[in-house]
A = this chain, B = another copy of it.
Amino acid sequence: MLAEERQQRINEHLREKEFCTLKELSDMLKVSVSTVRRDINFLKSTGILRRTHGGARLSEQVEIEGSHPLVPNATVRSELKECIARYCASLIEPGQTVIMDGGSTVFSVARHLVPKHPIVITNSLPISNLYSTYRQVEVHVTGGVVYPRLGVLTGPNAVEGFSKIHADVAIMGAGGLDVQDGVTNTHALLIDMQLAMIRAARKVIFCMDSTKLGAKSLFFLCSADQVQTLVTNDDANPAIVAALRKKGVDVHLVSC
């Protein structure tokens, strides 16, 4: 294998895992730790990663490039989000066509989805950007106007983009899910978009951390019984979970 190919695979691996040890890379690439160390040092000099003892960590800059508005969120509950994301990715079959929403949780899912070689349809710039270095993932981007803070494409073009397609799965986020008031979101512009996504997908998976259960945002998206699958943490309020299940929602509780 060529040196540069190795370095690219290290880069890709890091983008998925965020952190990894030299031994891990050495095993993966079937080269000595010395060689990995040299590669890592080179990559460090380019600025894409930061060295740690025994390993390397994706440098924040690159993260920001891929997900700028989503970063500040990556604080307290980020571990939990990662667990949800990992689990949610495991629900996807290799090669499936997947619609992906904007939003930080869905973005995390995106990172874990690379090995499944999916065909992705998205209106999220961060997700498009994340995948733009991978050849394994085919990404279709809807057109539309950039909604500044969220990095999401909106408007009639974007909605139209989803009206022409059929996907296996849609992975969605939302601002809140209440048994009475259903799924709600924070931005009116996103609602049309998400409705179009739901219509285009055979199966819809909502990913949200447990703090969003029982919460309400400003704008109504759909009622609770229209949610097919929900992935959340296992510290979710049991009463809400029970009520949702009674409404026919397939609730997956993820433990970390």
Query: Which residues of A come within 8 Å of B, CB atoms?
Result: 2-5, 7-8, 11, 18-19, 21, 43, 46-48, 52-55, 57, 61-62, 64-70, 72, 125-126, 128-129, 131-135, 138-146, 148-149, 151, 153, 157, 161
Nearest Cβ on chain B to A25's Cβ, whole angstroms? 12
Q: Would A67 and B133 count as touching, CB distance under 8 A? A: yes
A8 interface neighbour in B61, B70, B153, Cβ under 8 Å: B70
| Integer count of this chain's copies in the complex | 2
Q: Name A139's closest neighbour in chain B (CB-CB).
A: B146
Q: Would A157 and B161 count as touching, CB distance under 8 A? A: yes
Q: Would B146 and A70 count as touching, CB distance under 8 A? A: no
Q: Would B132 and A146 count as touching, CB distance under 8 A? A: yes
Give the docked Cα–Cα distance between A57 and B8 (Å).
11
Q: Would B129 and A141 count as touching, CB distance under 8 A? A: no
Nearest Cβ on chain B to A12's Cβ, whole angstroms? 11
- Of A64, A66, A131, most buried by chain B (CB within 10 Å of CB) is A66
Give the docked Cα–Cα distance between A60 and B148 (Å).
22
Q: Name A136's closest neighbour in chain B (CB-CB).
A: B148
